[in-house]
Structure 1
Amino acid sequence: MTTRQFRLPDLGEGLTEAEVLRWLVAVGDPVAVDQPVVEVETAKASVEVPSPYAGVVAELHAAEGRTVDVGAPLISIAAPSARAPLAGPSAPASVPPGPGAAAPAPGADPSVPGADASGGEGSGNVLVGYGTAEARRGRRGRRRPAAAPPAPGTRPLVISPIVRRLARDHHVDLAALTGTAPGGVIARRDVERAIEAASAPPAPPAPPLAVRDRVPLRGVRRTVADRLTRSRQEIPDATTWVDVDATDLVETRRQMLARDPDSPVGVLAFIARFVVAGLARYPDLNSRVDPAAGEIVRLAGVNLGIAAQGERGLLVPVVHDAHERNVRELHGEIARLATAARAGELGVADLTGGTFTLNNYGVFNVDGATPIINHPETALLGVGRILDRPWVVDGEIVPRKIAQFSLTFDHRVCDGATAAGFLRFVVDCVERPADALALI
């Protein structure tokens, strides 16, 4: 089978190159003589190039968007077999060159001019945009369809070669522009606006902010800042929350105080006891992530951190072995640590070794928050203020004492189902404290 190579012909008017806009055929497609095979754009116009040969497309020598020099290979066409000849549009045996006709391109088949299409040779009409007289009349008789807005991911819609050259000369990315001409076509004014925006002087810098004073970031505040920054950088955290009816818990605490006024127990101590019981059921939240080993390390006991505000900033003193303490013992240790934090008397042992943190931001008279996990822990429970709010009980709206609980957890150690299970366990204990205390 003979394969012939069609080179980009002389375009005339001093033009030496053209850009391939789009191929109208693909490898393996049948091609007839004078059938348009590619659309190219020069500095003068965008036109279709007809094939001088009939056959089957063997190779496309230039990708869309590539600039091709006159005389460079454009397309290779394999001659049709004798059993299945391909016939193109009928044409006269010889078409004399008209004004502006181009000479054969370097390397072109010298037998092309004046050849007969049915004989397998080209029509000889290889000027850009022209084929045989009949094919030319057929193309002129069809109206070019209106331009449509370009689909996402396609080439920018540019019709004018002047616009394309203007963009190229000023390094304007046409794909970044939105055409304002009908059909979404990029117009000259669109490119000129982009050029003007690129050459506009930068906005003057904002005046410097007035500085009242500078506070050194050091000591405890520096340690807290470093730990919270590391938490945000390393832990993919998520937060889930729920509103809690704490009416029965408040009443249980009142009854205990009435029975033993000299040994008060705070609400936070009850919640701490429920948290410890919940961690026994959901140990993933009482763990460490060991990235080097690629392991989640579940811890045997609970050292419960209690977020507290001290004179030196936010501190998290730790109730060690919280899983071995009852509600009254938890209350006593929490009270001791809170007093020491306010006085600045916490020791190193009091501030290290935590495995889970309980944050009572309700003392600041707020309802909710999404606190940052205390690295290297994997979870933190936040407790909002308890307020009287309307609540539906047995189909009736009644005043109840409602608080919001939020659990922030490391999504590497568990999914949302585990986090929700732990949170619901704690909430259920708060809403039915007598039953919970009898079982844990």
Structure 2
Amino acid sequence: MTTQTFELPDLGEGLTEAEVVRWLVAVGDTVAIDQPIVEVETAKSIVEVPSPYQGTVSALHGEEGQVLEVGKPLISVDDDSSPEPAAPVSVEGERYREEERAGAGSGNVLIGYGTPDASASGRRRRPRKRPPARPAQPAAPTPATTPAAKRPPLVTSPLVRQMAREAGIRISEITGSGPNGLITRRDVREAIEAARSVPAAAATTARPEPVPTGAVDARTGLVESQRVPMSGFRRSVAESLSRSRREIPEATVWVDVDATELVRLRQSDPSGPGLLSYVARFVLAGLRAYPELNGLVDAERGELVQYDGVNLGLAVQTDRGLVAPAVMGAHRLTTMELDAEIKRLTAAAREGKASPAEMTGGTFTLNNYGSLRVDGSAAIINHPQVAILGLGRIMDRPWIVDGELTARKITQLSFAFDHRVCDGGAAAGFMRVVADAMENPAAAIARL
């Protein structure tokens, strides 16, 4: 029998460590080549790591919640057939694209994509080649105290694995009803129904556990009730925000917007794009008019960089904290396509499934803090970007229209920008492009 140890692979994007979120296998389980074995959380997202070996799991080198460095042992697999390892598997290649599925609407005044329960999601697996799985070798007699080796689950359809994974069910725990024990979609559906009849388990995402200390703080004289370790993700966010404050001389401007006509447009077509999608479309128009806001400052070379195209970042509140994944190539999408991609992307971000490119590739950020029922905010620019637009909640407020006092749907836009890139005139011009389009959306859409 040969024992092969799989080390935590290079996860790309310059990442050097990852936190074990959830083991998908246990000691004694039989794994197949390319089978997901563990979920790990990096500073960018949560990813599944596949096994390059097949055989019986003999050791897991890390507890859930433990941080492992790249290159350190992750899992050991026993296999007396001594298989050659599969070709290196790209972790990024294991990611999933979310299907464009309509989610819960934003209502008539709240734009809800940024909230954890704002939309539903589904997944579609990227096509990839699988090496043919070799038949399991007969297990040698083992003592009664040793877990018995299990035959690898017979699954030929990626859709079946996808269904099981989305439902949080281990494929190895499903009994196949097909030929030779083949696991079918019906088997997965029955397992899902059976799981629903059992009280829901606690969330599987590992969270840093508070540590009671009882120590007395020298500065305040108060007893520390607890200390909570910062996850790698939280440390990354903290460093990014701190760097933004250190390096960017930012300024902020505000404008109140009468969004009554935009709300009416949305209500006139309940199956059409959501409010945030319209605002995103108007932001893209503003960036075409003021391209200096869609770039970065190369301080080392003393140059201002502008991009030919927009990766539109969207601030999304998740259980892991605030993230800003980007709609890649947003300038190429129609308003309906923007709507579908925003729903897919926010759902993926909440599940920790957004790709590293989506998590780090934004060129401009739209922050819908109105979804949190907040009216205004002086947002921090998402370094190395140079600007961020914030959108508050839409409320009924008294407003003067044609000399008459009336109730209108009013929201506030706040815009933080890097003063090295432009002055207040350009910032105000960009704001008016977006605000004017929101106040007269029919005319704006006709020009786009």
TM-score of the two chains, using structure 2 as the length reference: 0.51
The match for 1:218 is: 231
The match for 2:359 is: 351
The match for 1:394 is: 402
The match for 1:283 is: 291
- Give the 3 Å change call, closer, same or farther, for CA 330–207 of structure 1 in structure 2: closer
The match for 1:411 is: 419
Q: Distance in 2 between matches of 1:371 and 1:245?
A: 21
CA contact (8 A) 1:289 1:296 kept: yes
Alignment of 1:1-150 (within 5 A): none
Q: Per the alignment, in what secondary structure is the counterpart of residue 269 of structure 2?
A: helix
Q: Per the alignment, in what secondary structure is the counterpart of residue 293 of structure 1?
A: coil
Match of 1:333 among 338, 341, 357: 341
Q: Distance in 2 between matches of 1:271 and 1:368?
A: 16
Alignment of 1:238-257 (within 5 A): 238-257=251-270
Q: Per the alignment, in what secondary structure is the counterpart of residue 434 of structure 1?
A: helix
Q: Per the alignment, in what secondary structure is the counterpart of residue 214 of structure 1?
A: coil
The match for 2:143 is: none
Q: Structure 2: any 5+ residue segments left out of the alignment? A: 1-217
CA contact (8 A) 1:304 1:356 kept: yes
The match for 1:272 is: 280
* Deviation beyond 6 Å, 4+ runs, structure 1: none
Q: Per the alignment, in what secondary structure is the counterpart of residue 251 of structure 1?
A: helix
Q: Per the alignment, in what secondary structure is the counterpart of residue 251 of structure 2?
A: strand
Match of 2:368 among 360, 368, 389: 360
RMSD: 1.1
The match for 2:444 is: 436
- Give the 3 Å change call, closer, same or farther, for CA 228–397 of structure 1 in structure 2: same
Q: CA deviation at 1:292?
A: 1.1
Q: Distance in 2 between matches of 1:374 and 1:206?
A: 33
Q: Distance in 1 between matches of 2:222 and 2:274?
A: 46
Match of 2:332 among 324, 327, 350: 324
**Structure with higher RCO (Cα < 8 A, 6+ apart):** 2
Q: Distance in 2 between matches of 1:241 and 1:207?
A: 38
Matched, 1:372 2:380: yes
The match for 2:123 is: none
Q: Structure 1: any 5+ residue segments left out of the alignment? A: 1-204
Q: Per the alignment, in what secondary structure is the counterpart of residue 273 of structure 2?
A: coil
Q: Distance in 2 between matches of 1:288 and 1:345?
A: 27
Q: Per the alignment, in what secondary structure is the counterpart of residue 208 of structure 1?
A: coil
Q: Distance in 2 between matches of 1:374 and 1:209?
A: 35
Matched, 1:227 2:235: no
Give the partner amino acid of 2:241: L
The match for 2:160 is: none
Q: Distance in 2 between matches of 1:276 and 1:404?
A: 18
CA contact (8 A) 1:311 1:344 kept: no
Q: CA deviation at 1:326?
A: 1.3
Q: Per the alignment, in what secondary structure is the counterpart of residue 377 of structure 1?
A: coil
Q: CA deviation at 1:206?
A: 5.2
Q: CA deviation at 1:349?
A: 2.1
Q: State, as a whole percentage, how many aligned pairs show the same letter.
A: 56
Q: Per the alignment, in what secondary structure is the counterpart of residue 229 of structure 1?
A: helix
Give the partner amino acid of 1:237: E
Match of 2:323 among 294, 297, 315: 315
Q: CA deviation at 1:350?
A: 2.0
Match of 2:431 among 406, 423, 439: 423
Match of 1:209 among 222, 239, 254: 222
Q: CA deviation at 1:287?
A: 1.1
Q: Per the alignment, in what secondary structure is the counterpart of residue 369 of structure 1?
A: coil
Q: CA deviation at 1:207?
A: 4.6
Q: Per the alignment, in what secondary structure is the counterpart of residue 370 of structure 1?
A: coil
- Give the 3 Å change call, closer, same or farther, for CA 206–355 of structure 1 in structure 2: closer
Q: Per the alignment, in what secondary structure is the counterpart of residue 389 of structure 1?
A: strand
Q: Per the alignment, in what secondary structure is the counterpart of residue 435 of structure 1?
A: helix
Q: Distance in 1 between matches of 2:432 and 2:269?
A: 25
Aligned residue pairs, count: 231
Give the partner amino acid of 1:352: T
Q: Distance in 1 between matches of 2:264 and 2:238?
A: 39
Q: CA deviation at 1:282?
A: 0.1
1:388-424 deviation digits (Å, cap 9, x = unpaired): 0000000000000000001000000000000000001
1:292-340 deviation digits (Å, cap 9, x = unpaired): 1111011111000000011111111110111111111111111011111
Q: Distance in 1 between matches of 2:390 and 2:286?
A: 15
Q: Distance in 2 between matches of 1:296 and 1:225?
A: 25
TM-score of the two chains, using structure 1 as the length reference: 0.52
Q: Distance in 2 between matches of 1:389 and 1:245?
A: 9
CA contact (8 A) 1:246 1:431 kept: yes
Give the partner amino acid of 1:366: V
Q: Distance in 1 between matches of 2:417 and 2:381?
A: 7
Give the partner amino acid of 2:266: R
Q: CA deviation at 1:347?
A: 2.1
Q: Distance in 2 between matches of 1:372 and 1:408?
A: 7
Give the partner amino acid of 2:245: R
- Give the 3 Å change call, closer, same or farther, for CA 423–207 of structure 1 in structure 2: closer
